[in-house]
Every structure is written in C-alpha cells, then in structure tokens.
Chain A
Amino acid sequence: MQWETVIGLEVHAQLSTQSKIFSGASIAFGAAPNAEACAVDLALPGVLPVLNRGAVERAIRFGLAVGAKINSPSIFARKNYFYPDLPKGYQISQYELPVVEGGTVMFHVAETEKTVRLVRAHLEEDAGKSLHEDFHGMTGIDLNRAGTPLLEIVSEPDMRSSAEAVAYAKTLHSLVRWINICDGNMQEGSFRCDANVSVRPRGSGRLGTRCEIKNLNSFRFLEKAIDHEARRQIEIIEDGGTIQQQTRLYDPDRDETRAMRSKEDAQDYRYFPDPDLLPLEIPSSWISEVRDVLPELPAQMRSRLERDYGLSSYDAETLTADREIADYFVAVVSNLPSDPKLCANWVMGETSAYLNDAGKSFEHCPLSPGELAQLLTRIKDGTISGKMAKEVFRQMWSRRSEQETGWKSLQAKTDQSLVDQIIESQGLKQISDSGAVEKLIDEVIATNPKSVEEFKAGKEKAFNALVGQVMKAARGKANPAQVNEILRSKLK
C-alpha cells in the first residue's frame, strides 16, 4: 500500500513587543527568574489585564501579509486549567472569534509551487516556566515568560511530506521576521512548532486519526519528528492496529515521539469570553494605517527583482529568502544601480560565503553595502580585474571583520576610500595604459618566437599561451581583454 502523510502545523510566534500582552512588564529574554513578573503576571488578587496595542498591531500586520480577514470584533477567551506556571489558573487566548481568519502562505518545494491555507491566527499569552532541576525534589516557578505575547498560527492539513512542512515553516519563519513581528529566535523559543500528523492510503479523501507532536524547536527536529511519526503510524496500521488520537512529545536525543496524553484525558478547558477584556474592535482606519506601512512582501519583491532588475528567478528567490539579505542587496544596488546582476553575484557569492564562514547573518555583515558597491565599481571601470577584486574583498573583510556591530549601525562611518586605499597600497591596479601593455607584449613576442610561429600556423592554443605570458609579466594587473586585442592586432 502507498501511504500519504498529512500534516498541519500550529506555530507559536512570540511577538516582538517591548512589554507583555496584558501587562507593562518587559519581555526581554534572559533576566533573573521572576525579575520580569509584575503584579499582573503574578496574578495577585485584584489585578486586571490591559491589552497591548502593539501586539494587536503585529497580528494585523501578519493578517495583511497572508491575505487573511481581520476580524472586528474578535474575542478574548479564558482557557481554564491548573498548572503551577499558569498563575491565573487560566490562559487568556482567543477561541471562537480570532483576530486573523483565513489567508494563505506560498512557497516552493523543489521546483513546485505550493500553497498552504491558514485556518486562523490568534493572540494569546504565554505561560511561565517550571524548573525541575536545582530545587532538591521541588519545582521552581519562573514567571518571566508569563504573559509574553504569542500569535498562534494554525494551518489547514495541507502538507503532504516533512519537506513541505519544513518549507512551510521556513517560509513562515522568514515572513514573520520580514514583517518584523517576531525575532524568530528558535533557541529562545520565539518560534515554536507543533505538528499534527496523520497518514492515509494514497488517493483516499478521508483524513486519518491524527497525533499532535509538541516541542519541535528546530526545522531539523520538525522534519525528523514528522518522518518518525508517519513511520510509526504506518507500522501500527500495517500491523492491523488503529491510531489513537494523542499528544506526543518529540525526543531529539532518541529521535522518537512518545505519548504525553490521549484524547480520553483531554481536559475540558471551559472556554468563555474573558469579562475583564472588552471585545477587540479594530477600525478599518487602523487596518489601512498598518497596510500603508507594511513593507514590500517577499513574493512581491521577488517578482520586482525579476522584472525590474532582470534577475533570474533563482537569484530573486535567494535574495528574498530573508529580510537581512534582501535589505543588504537593495542597499548595494542603490549604490550601483547600473549593474544589479553584478551586485547580486557578489552578494550571493563572496559576501554570503564569507558570512557563512564567520557564522554571521547579513544583518551583521561587517562590510557596508557602499564599500561593496565601490569595489564593484572598480571592476566595472577597469581599475581591477574580477580576480583581483576577490583579493581586495579578502583584505577589506580582514580589516573590517573585527567589528561586532552590523552594517546598518556602521554606515555613517563607512570609509568610501577603503577600496582605493587597498588597491593603491597593494599595487593591485590594472595596467590600463596601452603603451605599457604594448611594451610588455612586444617583449613577449620577442622572447617566444616558437609560440608566435605556431599561432601563425593556425594553432589557437599558442595564442592563449602568449596571453598567459603577458599576464604573467604584468603580474596579473593587465586587463585580459585589452591584452587580447593588442596581441591579436600585432600578430596579424
């Protein structure tokens, strides 16, 4: 039997607000336990939630970016359950009327375009953390994270392989960073995935019983967990068993999922509208304001790069993979609008490779776009060859790589003359004076009569050998095209 895996994802994106969703406490990561838990976060008697406008604004931004409906009103509901790191005994979430409904996310898997439909995205607060170590059999509670704003993004079960699920998650990850609503830091838990996985005979129209896998905090774990879970389910069915609806936890150390709780022990959360919060009304004027400042989205930018800059679809996709590389590329082109292709090659090539080696992202690129554009300008005006440019780049990099801050904060103090200084001081400048080149050529012709003869006898290879000799004599600084032209005319 051919099996098909069906996957839907629930992604929790931590919103990049300054303060919590219902209190004024900071959401900065890494503070001492409970240092960022105020009276509201501690759920002291009598405290009340006040909705953070910034969290709503980010939800609207997301809704617009995926072409969803922004509901007005939407309703905050209480999800009631007891847990030590849930201070109120309920989580404020959205249930019947979420702020964002519908929408789609598009991406490529291999060469195929794929569209995943979204069910909804709703606002909710995060819980705190229970710390089971270091307390001698007791549990410590850290409520710093309690009340951190989350956008839970729920997809339809539209994915059919772990590769599609990962591509979807990566696209979403890039999108939330692109529109600046989430820092996407998966190690710190700012972007977390739960996967709903089921299997069915290929061609079947019915969905199988699903299991929800929690705790997938990297794309690699997402892929492995889905693959493992699909195999587990297929084995059970092929052995004549049935799948129990369960919540399962992925254990990356053992690469397996294990049951957390089954449907039978599913809690009754007794959702009801939170009487402390009024229905969230979002006037259409607010939506328009958000739309007006929404950045160009990756898909739009991709087609613009193809259309206006004449870039290939591969280049356009690579340069819009995330906001950082796109911003950097745009900044380079703005310094050298005449040759976007050259800019693209150097951003995707040399710059990207050096960043990779250094383990840095484009955001932390030590070379400013102006400096890179200056280097490319020196290639274009013939001052240096492309080969020499790589050497100049290497030296620029080693001069700048000590800097800790990224190019955006450096830009003001960028030294536009750095490129020329290096070319000048290392003597890397091309010999563009035709007299000097002619002199070198004459010497080569005089000292290589054999090659000259062979060429005249019709051996094209001999010509290349002569060019090589000239370049060698010029120590690489001659312009190969110029050498070619002069040599050929002299040998006629």
Chain B
Amino acid sequence: MLNSSLSQLSALLAEKKISSAELTAEFLKRARALNPRYNAFITLSEEASLAQARAADLMIASGDAKPLTGVPIAQKDIFCTKGWLTTCGSRMLSNFVSPYDAAVIERFNAAGAVNIGKTNMDEFAMGSSNETSFYGPVRNPWDVAAVPGGSSGGSACAVAARMAPAATGTDTGGSIRQPASLCGISGLKPTYGLASRYGMIAFASSLDQAGPMAKSAEDLALMLNVMTGFDPRDSTSLQREPEDYTRDLRKPLEGMRIGLPKEYFVDEISDDVARAVEASIAEYRKLGAKTVEVSLPNTSLSVPVYYVLAPAEASSNLSRFDGVRYGYRAPKYDDLNDMYCKSRAQGFGAEVKRRILIGTYVLSHGYYDAYYIQAQKLRRLIAQDFAEAFEQCDIIMGPTSPTVAFDLGEKSNDPVQMYLSDAYTIAVNLAGLPGMSIPVGFGQKNRPVGLHIVGNYFSEAQMLNVAHQYQSVTDWHTRMPG
C-alpha cells in the first residue's frame, strides 16, 4: 500500500477495502515514526486529518467520491490552511494559525482529499537545501547525510519516504523540481497562472507557482486536475477551459522531437548525473522519439537575472511581516522603529535577510535602472530563447540539477554555489513555462538523479505523457529508500 499509486488508493477506497480513516491513520503512523529522523513535517495533526478522513468516508459512502476523495496529501507549509499552523518555515510565522484556506487547499478540500500534515520547507521558500527552515533541516531519505533539496524539501522527503502518497510544492526557481530530483520522485511546476496563488505565501509573485509532487507522472496528472483552474482572487490566474491532464498519458512518443540544449551538457554537470540523463535519453530514442540539438544562449544569465528579480519582489512581499498584526513580535523594544527592527531581526533567518537586503538594494534609487530594469529586459530574452527552441522541438530535456544531493552543510556557507545549483530550473520560471523532474537513476553514493523536462506553455498534458511513457518502461520511480 505504501507504494500504491493514487488511483490504486482511490480504487481501494471505492471498493471499501480500506476506509480513508484507516488509510490516513496508517500514513500518519508512518509519518510520526519517521519524522524524528527526516523532519519532513512541521505539523502533524491526527485530530484534524482523521476528521477530514471520516468526512471523506461519508462522501464515499454516499457515492459522491471524486478521484482523490479520502486520499491523504501532504501540504507544503506555504499554503494557508484554516485552523492549521502555517509557518512558511519561519520563526516569523511560528505562531500563525491561518484563519483562511489557500485556493489550492480549498480545491483539495472540495475534492475530499485529506490533509495529512504541513511539510517543512526552506524559510519563505528561499533555499535549495531545506537548511534555512526555522524548524531545522529536512534529511534526504536516501541518505540522511544529504540534503533533500529545496525549498519543497519536506514534501519531496515525505513522498520519497512514503510518509504521504503525494504532496504539494511551490516552485519559484526550481523548488519543486530540484528536491524531486534529489529525492528520486516526480514533480511538476505548471505554466505560470494555471494554479491560483491566493493563500500561497508569496516569495516572488511573478515567479511563484504551485504544483504537485508524487511518485509518478500519472499521480501528478491526477493532482494537477485538482490544483489548477481559474481563480478571480488571483489577478495573474489564467481563464482557461479545464483540462483532464491524464488524457494523453498513454499516447505513443513516436516522432516526438526532444530538444537537448547544448548549454546544458557542459562542464558544470557532474559525470554521474550526465550518465544517468544520457541513459534516459537513450531510452526515449527507443520509445521512438528523436533528439535535436537546440540552443538557449542566455542560459548563463538566468541565475543573475533571477537573483535580482526574485529578491526585489521578496523584499516588498515580506514587508508585511512587521510584528504589528500577526506573527512574531520581539518581546522587548523601545519604540516603533525598534519594534520593527527587532521583530524582523529575530523573526527572519540569515538567508531571508540576505535576499531582503539584495532586493532592497536593487530597487533603490539610482540602482533600479541598472539592476531591476536590466534584469526585466534579460528576462524577456531568456523567454525568447525558449520560444525559438520550441520551433525546433516539442519538448526540452536536460538534468534537473548539475549534481546529485549534496551533503548537509556542504554549501550552506557559500550562497553563490547554492544558487548555481538551480541554474537549469530557474530559466523556466523566468519564462513562465511548465517544467518537471522525474527520477532516471542513481549517481554518486547511490543518490537519485532527475531528468528535467520542459514543455511549451500549457503543454502539461504532453509533458506528463512524455514522463509516463518513460515510467511505463522503467522502474526508477518505484524505487523506495531502504
């Protein structure tokens, strides 16, 4: 059952082989047992989860079940969840019980899914290793010496360690795909605007996007069906006809053109990752796909552009955490300014402060044109690179991360090295494109390797098809840490 797909779990529930309450209790038991080791969850609540499970059982009994009704799903602690502590991995929100549900949470609730707990994450989603969380680092279940990636490291770990059948994540520069890659699971960041950002605590508004993390492409498709859809409360939400993302899973890949950006297969990529990725591409050729070399000439600009724009937006988005209305307030202060300074100095961790400082700097008078405006121009060039590449191919592939999971502490004192580990994923957010990562083998120290799949706008169904076909002939995605 731990390895069952979402549709298998759904079938077990529908056939009354197990109740949602039993299923939920089972996963909660495992999560409780493993959490001291992995630290994947910030909050677990038997009471709240089992209440939802019992409600789901009633839905099933009355014949109102939907595909995910009764299925436990772990929720990243970035989504405001009514009645739940919603911390965003920060001391700043360590006392914040949300009075409302994020749009994504509402959608899972409406689908009858059970919230199995709130997953750990880098503080305010700023990080690539899950080491910036106020609640301590998450461990990689394949090797507890290794990081799980970030910022959705808790979600990736929970799915990889089978503490939850599936989880939600958010991805601003790779925060779904990189931890999915490092933990050997599948994760998808949709086209910007498909999933509502309402109630998802903002890091960089123009880049943030929620998406699913699960064991397989098929599970991702079911999750995506629930998570996406127009929301008038988010002005950047796109008004489109609802899609069934499972519809193309079984299409053959015959004749599909896979673009391999020459800039992705260079020195920065480690040998073990290169080998696994190349082997997966060989598998795709066997499935009938063709490969073509494409070029994304501005790839090397992605990281610097991102580290201007994302901190700029973040510096403003995080201004609301001032200790006035909710969240952390310093216990002692002299006056208003002192209250702001102390509350924010004590409430935010080092990485968050670093990005607030960078963002404040690049928006300052006299620097705005040189940094922010320039970065916006380059952002358009980066998007243009992809548009040109997609004239020659249907899908783009490469490594999700240049290396397998690194050790805890290995990069935490070298932010630039840490930032560079997201080089491949960041460009996708800057362009607003959908991207995903699927497991394609193991590298050094038996740590997982992920394949990065980038599609054109709104090509999620096709990307899931590409991933599913691979997963139909390989079994990397079924491997589970010992």
The verdict on B299 contacting chain A, using a C-beta distance below 8 Å, is no
The verdict on A436 contacting chain B, using a C-beta distance below 8 Å, is no
Are B325 and A45 interface neighbours, CB within 8 A? no
Minimum CB–CB distance from B433 to chain A (whole Å) comes to: 17
Are A46 and B235 interface neighbours, CB within 8 A? no
The verdict on B313 contacting chain A, using a C-beta distance below 8 Å, is yes
The verdict on A440 contacting chain B, using a C-beta distance below 8 Å, is no
Name the B residues within 8 Å of A45 (CB-CB): 80, 86, 88, 93, 96, 98, 201, 320-321
Q: Per-residue CB proximity of A37-73 to B under 8 Å, as 1/0?
A: 0010011111111110000000000000000000000
* A261-297 interface (Cβ within 8 A of B): 268, 270-272, 275-278
A46-B198 contact, Cβ under 8 Å, with A82-B319, A272-B316, A276-B235: yes
Are B205 and A275 interface neighbours, CB within 8 A? yes
Are A50 and B325 interface neighbours, CB within 8 A? no
Name the A residues within 8 Å of B255 (CB-CB): none
Are B236 and A276 interface neighbours, CB within 8 A? yes
The verdict on A87 contacting chain B, using a C-beta distance below 8 Å, is yes
* B300-351 interface (Cβ within 8 A of A): 312-313, 315-316, 318-322, 324-326, 336, 340
* CB-based nearest A residue for B231: A48
Are B325 and A141 interface neighbours, CB within 8 A? yes
* B183-205 interface (Cβ within 8 A of A): 197-202, 204-205
Minimum CB–CB distance from A44 to chain B (whole Å) comes to: 7
Q: Per-residue CB proximity of B360-384 to A under 8 Å, as 1/0?
A: 1001110010001000000000000
Bound complex: CA of A80 vs CA of B320, how far in Å?
Answer: 10
Bound complex: CA of A100 vs CA of B329, how far in Å?
Answer: 41
Which of B319, B336, B360 gathers most chain A CB within 10 Å? B319
Are A82 and B322 interface neighbours, CB within 8 A? yes
The verdict on A78 contacting chain B, using a C-beta distance below 8 Å, is yes
Are B319 and A88 interface neighbours, CB within 8 A? yes
Number of A-B contacts (CB under 8 A): 96
Minimum CB–CB distance from B158 to chain A (whole Å) comes to: 21
* B144-183 interface (Cβ within 8 A of A): none
The verdict on B283 contacting chain A, using a C-beta distance below 8 Å, is no
The verdict on B99 contacting chain A, using a C-beta distance below 8 Å, is yes
Q: Per-residue CB proximity of B197-225 to A under 8 Å, as 1/0?
A: 11111101110000000000000000000
Interface size on A, residues (CB 8 A): 29
Are A270 and B235 interface neighbours, CB within 8 A? no
The verdict on B252 contacting chain A, using a C-beta distance below 8 Å, is no
Bound complex: CA of A48 vs CA of B235, how far in Å?
Answer: 8
Name the B residues within 8 Å of A139 (CB-CB): 336
Minimum CB–CB distance from B240 to chain A (whole Å) comes to: 16
The verdict on B100 contacting chain A, using a C-beta distance below 8 Å, is yes
Bound complex: CA of A479 vs CA of B199, how far in Å?
Answer: 80
* B248-297 interface (Cβ within 8 A of A): none
Bound complex: CA of A39 vs CA of B324, how far in Å?
Answer: 15
Q: Per-residue CB proximity of A431-468 to B under 8 Å, as 1/0?
A: 00000000000000000000000000000000000000
Minimum CB–CB distance from B107 to chain A (whole Å) comes to: 14
Which of A48, A90, A276, A277 gathers most chain B CB within 10 Å? A48
Name the B residues within 8 Å of A268 (CB-CB): 364-365
Are B372 and A46 interface neighbours, CB within 8 A? no
Minimum CB–CB distance from A395 to chain B (whole Å) comes to: 57
Are B235 and A49 interface neighbours, CB within 8 A? yes
Bound complex: CA of A82 vs CA of B336, how far in Å?
Answer: 10
The verdict on A84 contacting chain B, using a C-beta distance below 8 Å, is yes
Name the B residues within 8 Å of A88 (CB-CB): 319-320
Name the B residues within 8 Å of A84 (CB-CB): 322, 324, 336
Are A270 and B316 interface neighbours, CB within 8 A? yes
The verdict on A310 contacting chain B, using a C-beta distance below 8 Å, is no
A48 contact from B88, B233, B372, Cβ within 8 A: B233
Are B363 and A48 interface neighbours, CB within 8 A? no
Bound complex: CA of A139 vs CA of B363, how far in Å?
Answer: 31
Which of B202, B235, B315, B365 gathers most chain A CB within 10 Å? B235
Minimum CB–CB distance from B438 to chain A (whole Å) comes to: 29
Are B322 and A48 interface neighbours, CB within 8 A? no
Which of A39, A47, A50 gathers most chain B CB within 10 Å? A47
* CB-based nearest B residue for A82: B340
The verdict on B481 contacting chain A, using a C-beta distance below 8 Å, is no
Q: Per-residue CB proximity of A100-112 to B under 8 Å, as 1/0?
A: 0000000000000
The verdict on A386 contacting chain B, using a C-beta distance below 8 Å, is no
Are B232 and A80 interface neighbours, CB within 8 A? no
Name the A residues within 8 Å of B96 (CB-CB): 45
A46 contact from B102, B313, B336, Cβ within 8 A: B102
A46-B80 contact, Cβ under 8 Å, with A272-B363, A276-B205: yes
The verdict on A201 contacting chain B, using a C-beta distance below 8 Å, is no
Bound complex: CA of A272 vs CA of B205, how far in Å?
Answer: 13
The verdict on B475 contacting chain A, using a C-beta distance below 8 Å, is no
* A349-391 interface (Cβ within 8 A of B): none
Are A89 and B316 interface neighbours, CB within 8 A? yes
Minimum CB–CB distance from B77 to chain A (whole Å) comes to: 11
Are B99 and A89 interface neighbours, CB within 8 A? no
Bound complex: CA of A87 vs CA of B319, how far in Å?
Answer: 9
Are B206 and A89 interface neighbours, CB within 8 A? no
B99 contact from A44, A80, A82, Cβ within 8 A: A44
B232 contact from A44, A47, A50, A272, Cβ within 8 A: A50
Name the A residues within 8 Å of B88 (CB-CB): 45
Name the B residues within 8 Å of A272 (CB-CB): 312, 316, 363, 368, 372
Bound complex: CA of A47 vs CA of B197, how far in Å?
Answer: 8
Are B316 and A80 interface neighbours, CB within 8 A? yes
* CB-based nearest B residue for A85: B324
Are B235 and A42 interface neighbours, CB within 8 A? no
* CB-based nearest B residue for A84: B324
Name the B residues within 8 Å of A275 (CB-CB): 204-206, 236, 313
* A217-242 interface (Cβ within 8 A of B): none
Bound complex: CA of A272 vs CA of B368, how far in Å?
Answer: 9
Name the A residues within 8 Å of B410 (CB-CB): none
Interface, chain B (partner A; CB < 8 A) = 79-80, 86, 88, 93, 96, 98-100, 102, 197-202, 204-206, 232-236, 312-313, 315-316, 318-322, 324-326, 336, 340, 360, 363-365, 368, 372
Given A44-B326, A84-B324, A275-B205: 19 more A-B contacts, CB < 8 Å = A42-B325, A44-B99, A45-B88, A46-B200, A47-B198, A47-B199, A48-B197, A49-B235, A50-B232, A50-B234, A82-B319, A82-B340, A87-B320, A141-B325, A270-B368, A272-B316, A272-B363, A275-B313, A276-B235
Query: Can you show 15 pairs from A to B with CB atoms below 8 A apart?
Result: A39-B99, A43-B320, A44-B80, A44-B100, A45-B86, A45-B96, A45-B320, A46-B79, A48-B235, A84-B322, A89-B320, A270-B360, A270-B368, A275-B206, A276-B235
